[in-house]
Structure 1
Amino acid sequence: MKDFLDDDFLLKSKTAQVLYHEYAKQMPIIDYHCHLPQQQIYENTQFENISQVWLNGDHYKWRAMRTNGVDESYITGDKPDREKFRKWAETVPYTMRNPLYHWTHLELQRYFGIKEVLNGDSADRIYDRCKERLGADSHRVRGLLAQMNVKKICTTDDPIDDLAIHRSLKADPSFDMGVFPAFRPDKAMEVRDVKQFADYVAKVEAVTNVSVETFSDYLSALKKRHDFFHEQGARLSDHGLEEIYVEEYTEQELELIFQKALKKELLSELEQRKFKSAMLVYFAEWDHERGWVQQYHLGALRNNNSRMLSLLGPDTGWDSIGDFSQARALSKFLNRLDGNNRLAKTVLYNLNPGDNELMATMIGNFNDGSVAGKIQFGSAWWFLDQKDGMTKQINAISNMGLLSRFIGMLTDSRSFLSFPRHEYFRRLLCDLFGDDIEQGELPNDLPWIGKVIQDICFNNIHGYIDWPKP
């Protein structure tokens, strides 16, 4: 019987162990999609305790605590940090076979050297040990990143963000890690709530000093922001969508829809879809013009619990997998861009595991040989970011594409303690390759397969993005 979370965790064969320890483990990390607060990177924040860095904003843990019967006052409420941690510690034993159980103990080991299992009995001891370690300079935010060998991070930023923190980080001679913005224009195209949209347009006017009276004005203002993001080092965009929108539209229709939205007149479902369809095309064309990578996160059914949404707001743990039909619209969208020679490098993420093979084959339709791995099936996302989900995603690429050209893992996280998820992915990857070698399904060519693994871990994403020059 193996020890829990030993050095060969998830590595079932000797070959897998060699692949991980001699090839994958040493590779740096590029986290090309996350939600880390860059303000805390700039300030090199020192957290007072483990609850502040571990529980604040982590809706994965929040959902588990609620399922375990923990009152909301210990989750998003005003209970003291130590009491919140105790409630999480009491929940952890019930998370067995959920990825949270592995992640929790990996993070305690990697950042704090704690190998004790977390539960109600160990909660106070572990809380105090973490608090002591967090008091050291090595466990300020920048130290936490350095411990995991993080070299580059891409945050997620609204077009109206001033990116002042990104500029300050770039100008800081004491900080040599790359922190880059990514253009996330979801609010710029969301016209379901016309009051919120009209308010957003006013903010676009203010930040661009452009008077927005027509749809053309609006596009000009947003293009100005896109250009500004490029100047500040952005080389990626990102969209969080239920599905791709591909309704037919005319410029006259778009102007009428835009004017209605500005007047806060409710739009029909078809009008909303036409507007979103057009905006997606414009954003994609700008990305191609600038040589960016565009990302599409598809399939989340968000804010299902209206009662809790009204109490706590979005991104607090009330989202789930949706069952949207993706194939035909995605094909039409990519084909339109490709036909006009406006298709940028593209990463597609799906949330419904039933769409794995769909995505793995869709990318092959538009990989035209101009760039290795131009269109990517992105890493297992959100609810699929676990052992089974990652394995299925890796196998789908392997069976229907070229796993060797995959750009690998990201955290998609708001926590500075999430980077062992890269290790988790790398161990699974090495175990799959190791098993194939042991079974005689792949040659015992460790130098070549080790190189492929290193490419997936780091080299592919490093070469995929046209990073700004230092």
Structure 2
Amino acid sequence: MNSLITDNFLLTSSYAEELYHSFAKDLPIIDYHNHLPPNEIATNKQFKNLTKVWLDGDHYKWRAMRNLGIEEKYITGKASDEEKFKKWGYAVPYTMRNPLYHWSHLELKRYFGIDSPINEKTAGSIYKDCNTLLQKEEFRTQGLLKMMNAEVVCSTDDPIDDLKHHKSIANSNFDVLTLPTFRPDNIINIDAIEFTTYIETLSDVSNVKIKDLESLLKAIESRIEYFHENGCRLSDHGLSHAYAGKFSKKKVDAILKDRIEEKNLSTKEINIYKSAILFYLGKFYALKEWTMQLHLGPIRDTNKLLLKQIGINAGVDSIGDFQQAESLANYLNMLNDDGSLPKTIIYNSNPSDNDLFATMAGNFSEGGVKGKVQFGAAWWFLDQKDGIEKQINSLSNMGLLSCAVGMLTDSRSFLSFTRHEYYRRILCNIFGNDIKNGDLPNDMQWIGKIVSDICYNNAKSFFDFQDIKSKTRTQQTSINK
């Protein structure tokens, strides 16, 4: 069988080939949103075997294996790592037309140089060969990031995190800029069972006794300052939809006090609190000139039995059908009216809302800022070929694709950085086909510039990470005291 991953994989015209190989292929990667464990970067972790680096924690693969009826013991259970990998090898040929088929072969090719297809017959030898490579220094976590030409990676971190691993990385000789991202979902989710326990911990780490709204905002501001000192320049929120209800400080203060006292709240009170905290967070981000990310729309942990058995991130989430337009418009408008709208990226999980998000992003602009509100790259269930193409087409039709800040992995896997290549190939193929069909001029230098901007230059300019590494290193001595 011929290799699937050829030089011109997904490139269906000579124009696409030229755009990819001349203007996209060799650009560094700015991965401004992922879920990589910072401790594994800081310690330059070496993975015991291919299952540990490729299957553990990968709920995309878990879902596919469950769909095939594979027993849970071979997915998250007590089967040996080799047995689990061989079951995955059995599953891969059945994933054709699912992005896992492309991703799996692309990852094997780029990281391990393996051209052969993975299936039930080849899984054993692939497992053995890759395990041998994983024992080499360049296949530790830091080497894997360098292998993909990563320039910046931004993890996702809770406000109570001490960021000790980011400090360790900043003080090391590792030259991939590794930065935290502020993810305050646990502060917003006042309806969560663990909320009061979390607030107690937040009080401890911020040295602010949280007893009302004023003290909560002081604690949040303190943690934002701490994250900023350690190189953070982005926030992130995972929400079903934006919250933008009317509120007064007095009412929010009373709601928070009731919750701290373990009193029950109404749905209306919960929404008022979430609206207020999301608004104040946006104001803080604007003051720090951070970029705010809003990941909107999924339904999480739908299979409660599996959730109880395995825990969160088990791979039992779905696309939601929430009403997004009015609440998102109101939220962005609240901040904009206040002069406090930060740079923002909005991510959509429902393909039927692509045009909505593309048009919403274009409603809020600022002189001197290119693409202040971004319609973020195809995300989660949509970061496959068809989903990427639809997101690109919606943004092209309703806004300016040339302003886009490109792809991100949104992944816990150190082998997922080939998704940038996947996106770049699809992007180049779209432009190449337009040239071929006469929809765009055959101006390779100009269109090549646009491609390079989307793949790298726009992100580099939008996030302005350039000076952070030197600044954070000089600050570590005082921060660590």
Q: TM-score, normalised by structure 2?
A: 0.96
- Separation (CA, whole Å) in 1 of partners of 2:264 and 2:429: 53
Could you say which residue in structure 2 is the equivalent of 1:399?
397
1:48-447, aligned counterparts within 5 Å? 48-172=48-172, 174-193=173-192, 195-447=193-445
Mapped contact 1:300–1:351 kept (Cα < 8 A):
yes
| Pairwise CA distance, 1:365 | 0.8
Stretch moving more, 366-375 or 134-143:
366-375
SS in 2 for 1:366: coil
Classify the secondary structure of the residue corresponding to 2:194. Answer: helix
> In 2, Cα distance between the equivalents of 1:344 and 1:219?
18
How far apart in 2 are the matches of 1:415 and 1:36?
A: 7
Q: 1:5, CA displacement in angstroms?
A: 2.1
The residue type paired with residue 311 of structure 1 is Q
Show CA shifts across 1:209-268 (max 9, x none): 211222211111111001110111000000000001111111121111111111111211
Deviation at 1:3, TM superposition (A): 5.5
Cα deviations across residues 361-405 of structure 1 (Å, max 9, x unaligned)?
Answer: 011110233401111000000000000000000001111111111
Q: CA deviation at 1:454?
A: 0.6
Q: SS of the residue aligned with 1:118?
A: coil
**Structure 2 SS opposite 1:187:** helix
The amino acid that maps onto 2:186 is: K
Q: How many aligned positions are there?
A: 468
More deviation, 142-151/209-218: 209-218
Q: Which amino acid aligns with 1:456?
A: I
Q: Distance in 2 between matches of 1:140 and 1:311?
A: 31
% identical equivalent positions: 50
Distance 1:94 1:143 in 2: 31
Which residue does 1:449 correspond to in 2?
447
Cα distance in 1, alignment partners of residues 374 and 81 from structure 2: 41
The amino acid that maps onto 1:125 is S
Aligned residue for 2:362, secondary structure, equals helix
User: Quick one: which amino acid aligns to residue 179 of structure 2?
Assistant: F
* More deviation, 274-283/2-11: 2-11
Stretches of structure 1 lacking an aligned partner (at least 5 in a row): none
Deviation of 1:282 after TM superposition, in Å, equals 0.5
Residues 162-214 of structure 1: CA distance to partner in whole angstroms, max 9, x if unpaired? 00110110011x21110000000000111113x41100010011111211222
SS in 1 for 2:235: strand
Aligned to 1:14: 14
**Separation in structure 2 between the aligned mates of residue 105 and residue 4 of structure 1, nearest angstrom:** 7
Gapped regions of structure 2 (runs ≥ 5): 471-481
Whether the aligned pair in 2 keeps the contact of 1:291 and 1:466 (CA below 8 Å) is no
Residues 283-292 or 244-253, more deviating: 244-253
Counterpart CA distance in 2 for 1:225 and 1:321 is 32
Q: Which amino acid aligns with 2:340?
A: R
Provide the rounded CA distance (Å) in 2 between the counterparts of 1:3 and 1:253. Answer: 63
Distance, in Å, in 1 between the alignment partners of 2:50 and 2:3 is 25
CA distance in 1, matches of 2:2, 2:64: 27
Q: Is the 8 A contact 1:19 1:450 kept in 2?
A: yes
Structure 2 counterpart of 1:27, which letter?
Answer: L
Show CA shifts across 1:263-297 (max 9, x none): 11121111111110001001000000000000000
Q: Tell me by how many angstroms 1:440 deviates.
A: 1.2
Cα shift at 1:2: 8.3
State whether residues 156 and 181 of structure 2, in contact with CA within 8 Å, keep that contact through their aligned partners in structure 1: yes
CA RMSD in angstroms, aligned pairs only: 1.1
SS in 2 for 1:295: strand
Q: Is the 8 A contact 1:292 1:466 kept in 2?
A: no
Query: C-alpha displacement at 1:466, in angstroms?
Result: 3.0
- AA aligned opposite 1:190: N
Counterpart of 1:455 in structure 2: which amino acid?
Answer: D
Looking at structure 2, the residues matched to 246 and 329 of structure 1 have their Cα atoms a distance apart, in angstroms, of: 6
Counterpart of 1:213, as a letter, is K
* SS state at 1:203 partner: helix
Cα-to-partner distance string for 1:278-318 (whole Å, 9 max, x where unaligned): 01001000000000000000001111111111111111111
Amino acid in the other structure paired with 1:141: T
- Report how far residue 339 of structure 1 moved: 1.1
Match of 2:475 in 1: none
The 2-side partners of 1:415 and 1:341 are apart by 38
Structure 2 counterpart SS, 1:238: strand
Quick check: 2:3–2:115 contact (8 Å CA) kept in 1? no
Conserved 8 A contact 1:238-1:294: yes
* Aligned-pair CA distance for 1:62: 0.4
CA-to-partner distance for each residue in 1:398-450, whole Å, 9 max, x for gaps? 11111111000000000000011100000000000001111111111111111
Q: Distance in 1 between matches of 2:222 and 2:281?
A: 12
Q: CA deviation digits over 1:141-167, x for unaligned, max 9?
A: 111111110000010000000001101
Give 3-state SS (helix, strand or coil) of 1:153's partner: strand
Other structure's SS at 1:365 match = coil
- TM-score w.r.t. structure 1 length? 0.98
